[in-house]
Amino acid sequence: MGKNFGLLYRLAAWLCCFVLVCGMLAGCSDVRGVISGVAAAGEFPVEVAGVTISARPQKVVVLSPSLADVVLALGFETQLAAGAQECTQESLRDLKKISRDNPQAIQDENPDLVLLDPSSNGPAAALQEAGLTVLSIAPATDREDFERLYSQVAEALAGGGPGHEEGIRVAQDVFLTLDAINRIVPSDRVTTACYLYDLDSSAVTGDMFGSTIMTYSGVTNVFKSLEGGSYDFETLRISNPNAIFCPPGLAEQILSDSRFADSQAVKDKKVFEMDPSLMEWQGRTVIETAYEISASVFPELLEENSMQVTDPTEEIDSAVGSALASQEEEEDDTEYETLSQGDQGDAVQKLQARLEELGYLDREYDGHFGEYTAQCVTEFQKANGLEETGIADQKTQRRLFARSAKAKGDGGEASALSSEPPAETSQEPTTSDDNG
């Protein structure tokens, strides 16, 4: 996709250091996927954008690469049966690809639902005539509209109620990450930029979501006041952006075009090639795009530091997950009783139930805090970056009952929709001397 992974990875490493030192990246859980996976079934039938969906679709054909990106961010890719050829995300590499201009091939998949956006509406009429359920969802234009987009996709695939709420939550998590990026870019100067699709008239304008991404990346879109994706060269000349982004292959034309001879971006060698999909896809790609823009425009963020990063995405997962956990702990005002070996009762049983839910405890339990429970607590503390004491103090329990608590073995969220302490177990107590 023409991404500058060197810049992206170095900025990712810098962000990891920043989080660990300053704790500013609060509120996001996974840069690669932003929290994904709806654990609870929603309500059907549900009406989305005027279309009634009677039951949770099991075979979905997605004809929009941007909507496919949203599906991935929400964690619903297992419901996809096929996608348009333009859906080139690595996670969809093995998904069957079909032409969105071939209604018959789409019908042959016998899908429960066809997802498309206004740019791929061509086959909609034919598919509807064939009796298929077709849902057109428009792309988001700004932050508020982003929640509408995610809630509609989530409702369509997971139902109303919990599905709708999860869509809103994931959309908000994406923007919490964008907020974090915006906080670390220089704010003491105005940096202007644009994304040119060509040198004739097509660019990212203010009514397009790409303009919003630019804002959170720390740059001002010089075409922010324009609409419809069109610009004229005189406006570009007068605005004289500090940086120009463009599709692969266009940078050379810009550098050799005499009209750009006095351009500040050309003088400063800040003409960067970036795949157009980064400006258009609205799933997890939004965060990658913000990183790449910031990395390109603000080289001071890319200075080498002492941290040697062998797998930047894992470093980001760990750092950002820790920041989210810290934020949740601050918001949790529950007064947890410190629990240790020898304690027993309802509080211990809730502790054991949560440890079981996260995969650390795999024996029957009865509310007695024994040696085994202490070992499980220690293992949880180790996985979540806490002091390994085997004692469930207030800090340990706040992390344990947080939505971002790391489950055993996967390093990710254990339960996307469960952030409250679990209810008391209904298990019958056992009679072992130290089953806890």
Least trusted range by pLDDT, from 200-209, 263-272, 323-332, 416-425: 416-425
pLDDT higher at 30 or 107: 107
pLDDT of residue 431: 38
Is residue 118 packed enough to be buried (19+ CB in 10 Å), middle (13-18) or exposed (0-12)? exposed
199-208, 298-307, 393-402: which has the minimum mean pLDDT? 298-307
**Mean pLDDT value across residues 233-257:** 97
Contacts of 166 (CB under 8 A, 6+ apart): 38, 40, 74, 154, 158, 416, 417
Residue pLDDT, tens place only, 358-383: 999 999 999 999 999 999 999 999 99
Q: pLDDT digits over 120-171, tens only?
A: 777 899 999 999 999 999 999 999 999 999 999 999 999 999 999 999 999 9
Residue 12 has pLDDT above 60, yes or no: no
Give the residue extent of every domain in the chain.
Answer: 46-174, 335-436
pLDDT of 328 above 50: yes
Supply the pLDDT for residue 46: 97
Residue 423 has pLDDT above 80, yes or no: no
Residue scoring higher pLDDT (147 or 315): 147
* Pairwise CA distance, residues 333 & 157, whole Å: 35
- Over residues 306-328, the mean pLDDT reads 50
Lowest mean pLDDT among 73-87, 296-310, 409-423: 409-423
Domain spanning 46-174: which CATH class is it, in words? alpha beta
SS3 state of residue 427:
coil
* Mean pLDDT rounded to a whole number for the chain: 83
Are 242 and 299 in contact by the 8 Å Cβ rule? The answer is no
Residue 37 has pLDDT above 50, yes or no: no
Q: Tell me if 138 sits within 8 A of 116, measured CB to CB.
A: no
CA distance 423 to 428: 15
Q: Whole-angstrom Cα distance, residue 65 to residue 87?
A: 4
- Is the alpha carbon torsion for 152, 158, 159, 163 positive or negative? negative
pLDDT value at residue 230 = 97
Q: What is the pLDDT at residue 329?
A: 58
Residue 39 is predicted with a pLDDT of: 45
Name the more confident of 265 and 409: 265
* Residue, of 119 and 214, whose pLDDT is higher: 214
Give the tokens for residue 264. Answer: 């500040």
Q: Which of 40-54, 247-261, 303-317 has the highest mean pLDDT?
A: 247-261
Phi, psi of 364 (to 5 degrees): -70, 150
How far are the Cα atoms of 286, 298, 377 from residue 369, in angstroms, in the given order?
A: 46, 53, 10
Query: Which CATH code fits 335-436?
Result: 1.10.101.10
Residue 251: predicted pLDDT: 97
304 class by beta-carbon count within 10 Å (0-12 exposed, 13-18 middle, 19+ buried) = exposed
Q: What is the pLDDT of residue 5?
A: 44
Contact 374, 358 (CB under 8 A): no
| Residue 87 to residue 80: CA distance in whole angstroms | 12
Tokens of 432: 């072992």
E-state strands within 210-269 = 220-221, 243-246
| Res 419 pLDDT > 50 | no
